[in-house]
Structure 1
Amino acid sequence: MGKVLSFGELLLRICPDEDGQWLRENNLPFYVGGAEANVATALALWGVPSAYLTALPDNFVAEQLVGYLNSRRVQTDHTVYGGNRVGLYFLPKGKDLKNTGVIYDRAGSAYADLKPGIIDWDKVFEDVSWFHFSAICPAINQSVADVCEEALKVAVQKNITISLDLNYRAKLWQYGKDPVEVMPALAQYCDLIMGNIWAANKMLGIPLDEGLIANLDKESLEQHAALTSKAILEKFPKCRTVANTFRFDYQQGIRYFTTLLEAGSLYTSHEYQVEQILDKVGSGDCFMAGLIYGFYHQLPPTETLEFATAAAFKKLFIPSDATTTTVAEINDTISAYAN
């Protein structure tokens, strides 16, 4: 197997607390972020040959960021240098990216300025067997969406496996198109699509049965996951695997489980429940990385799903965008919660 290449915008996440303590202390925490970068660093940590492609300005900040990725064993040989700035986003501590409090500062970034023809995809895809991107990329503007399609067409020609994370970020889709007008054209190239039943509805036009999921009980959610997954396979014949995540916040804590439709069978993970967590950001990226890890190593579907789910669950206790949990620690978690 060749490398796994993840494509997306490298970001800095700025984390002001909600009561303004950062102003009084003159201290503003930040983390290196970006959904696809989180996937790339997780895979590298777990021993999978991992590369990452982004665009950055040619300055010392970009140099340090690339050095950081390299220190995490992520290959960055094809980084596109140009433009004026690194993308930022602001998110209060403990919140997730679906929270209304998220503030994006990404307009005019080096990545947002990408256009078709800039990247030599034939060269980029040398020694690559898996290509990963997310719906965050085409959410930025039409030009980046066109770059994504440009990449996907070349990847298909080279028989590279393609995965898509249906990350829905309402605040990013601001260039006059709804996701459902853009995403199906990209999803048609993909072999593995991950998201949830609500994102599939919003971004791919897959029907949502509100009555079936009104009570959010596990049996009904599993049933809807099966319906959504099969609808995706029917709509996008190239796709052969669909995964869904279910994470709910309650007063008593977090409830989390996932499903995987593979070769006509629906698998459901162990359900994790916990009272307190540290950081929601990057959990879905960890799940995506776990799926890639399992399929890359040709693990059985049940093992792949449990590994990915445990990796995502462990990320909830890590105060950064990227995971630091090892394969051994993830397997220990699976064993501990299975009993």
Structure 2
Amino acid sequence: MTDSISSLSKQGEKVLSFGEILLRICPDMDGQWLKENKLPFYVGGAELNVATALALWEVPSAYLSAMPDNSITKDIVGYLDERNIDTTPMVFHGDRLGLYYLPKGKDLKNAGVIYDRANSAYADLVVGQINWDKVFQDVTWFHFSAICPAINQSIADVCLEALKIASSKNIAISLDLNYRAKLWKYGKEPINILPELAKYCTLIMGNVWAANKMLGTALHEDLTPTEGYAKETLLQQATDTSKEILSLFPACKAVANTFRFDYGKGIRYYTAIFTEDKLTVSNEYVSEEILDKVGSGDCFMAGLIYGFYNHLPVNETLNFATAAAYDKLYIPSDATTSTVSDIEKRIIRND
């Protein structure tokens, strides 16, 4: 189809990811880090995780964030450059880098996360500060997440500024509906902000509950995020939610949903994507134990971008993205370290 996502993406041009660069500090649960004077950390942030995966998978990848200009951030830029991430759009200003603390084994979506991001360099960005015309040169895809406008009204306004310019340049735009309750603290709810941003987006990814909370889509009566619902019920909800999003936001060409259910130390995981009037569903992945939940959804989004960027068929795109997300659960860091070949070996095939 001429209006498919793949038709908007031109190989050889860059994917630009925009979001806050963070350090994740990972204390263990029993205080042993105090006794050993060891505190593991990772360089991350949802959008950087996407940029890192794409660069590893040989998709030209650029990253725009903001950091103070000091010796630590210079080391970080060198670290990103070594991973073939184009950091030339980076803004250097302000006084501090955002941090968050997440004890080992905890999930970003629950009470275990502790944020230390107030007044960070990224949080202090303002409209008019970034030369988006220059930043978008040779960019064919722009990615951001709902974490960005959760920080403050100024960043929400910067996102809107970027989306208007990207849309005018016919750049494909992807949005991950990440919901972080601890970040929405400036008097606005996601439903007050996200619909205005979503109307510029080409690909929207999340889950049916996030779409309900952030975009106002309808949920079937009594549907709650629980393992108890039949898969057929959840997939029907995914179809209905996707159709509603496509109706509400005509620029959108595809809606992807993930379903991850935790049990004990393991997970059940499957995904779906609705595009070209059809719901495509992945195989289901089951594991009794995983290593790190952080970044799995980012890896799924990166996999979708990888597939559309390379003009893969929808089912191949979904298979790759799902396997990439599942594979990330076994990697103890924010971003994946698995190559395309590694991920292809993870794909569950029906033939």
TM-score, normalised by the number of residues in structure 2: 0.95
- Indicate conservation of the 8 Å contact 1:212/1:220, yes or no: no
- Within a 5 Å distance, the mapping from 1:36-55 to structure 2 comes to 36-55=47-66
Shift in Å at residue 250 of structure 1?
1.0
Per-residue CA deviation, residues 203-243 of structure 1 (Å, 9 max, x unaligned), is 01111224356632211111110011111111111111000
Report sequence identity in percent. Answer: 68
What SS does the corresponding residue of 2:255 show, helix, strand or coil? strand
- Within a 5 Å distance, the mapping from 1:1-339 to structure 2 comes to 1=10, 2-212=13-223, 215-251=228-264, 253-335=266-348, 338=350
What SS does the corresponding residue of 2:24 show, helix, strand or coil? strand
What SS does the corresponding residue of 1:175 show, helix, strand or coil? coil
Distance of 1:307 and 1:53 partners within structure 2:
26
Distance of 1:240 and 1:160 partners within structure 2:
13
What SS does the corresponding residue of 1:182 show, helix, strand or coil? helix
What SS does the corresponding residue of 2:347 show, helix, strand or coil? helix
Aligned residues: 338
Shift in Å at residue 73 of structure 1?
0.5
- Indicate conservation of the 8 Å contact 1:82/1:110, yes or no: yes
Distance of 1:34 and 1:242 partners within structure 2:
22
Give the direction of change, closer, same or farther, for the CA distance of 1:210–1:255 in structure 2 (3 Å limit). Answer: farther
Q: Structure 1: any 5+ residue segments left out of the alignment?
A: none
Distance of 1:323 and 1:39 partners within structure 2:
9
- Indicate conservation of the 8 Å contact 2:46/2:295, yes or no: yes
- Indicate conservation of the 8 Å contact 1:5/1:132, yes or no: yes
Distance of 2:142 and 2:132 partners within structure 1:
11
Distance of 2:86 and 2:106 partners within structure 1:
30
Which is further off, 122-131 or 246-255? 246-255
Distance of 1:252 and 1:59 partners within structure 2:
40
Distance of 2:335 and 2:350 partners within structure 1:
25
Shift in Å at residue 4 of structure 1?
0.2
What SS does the corresponding residue of 1:163 show, helix, strand or coil? strand
What SS does the corresponding residue of 2:86 show, helix, strand or coil? coil
- Partner amino acid for 2:145? S
Distance of 1:44 and 1:23 partners within structure 2:
36
- Indicate conservation of the 8 Å contact 1:3/1:50, yes or no: yes
Give the direction of change, closer, same or farther, for the CA distance of 1:271–1:209 in structure 2 (3 Å limit). Answer: same
Distance of 1:247 and 1:186 partners within structure 2:
26
- Partner amino acid for 2:241? T
Shift in Å at residue 251 of structure 1?
2.8
Which 4+ runs in 1 deviate beyond 4 A? none
Which is further off, 247-256 or 301-310? 247-256
RMSD across aligned C-alpha pairs, in angstroms? 1.1
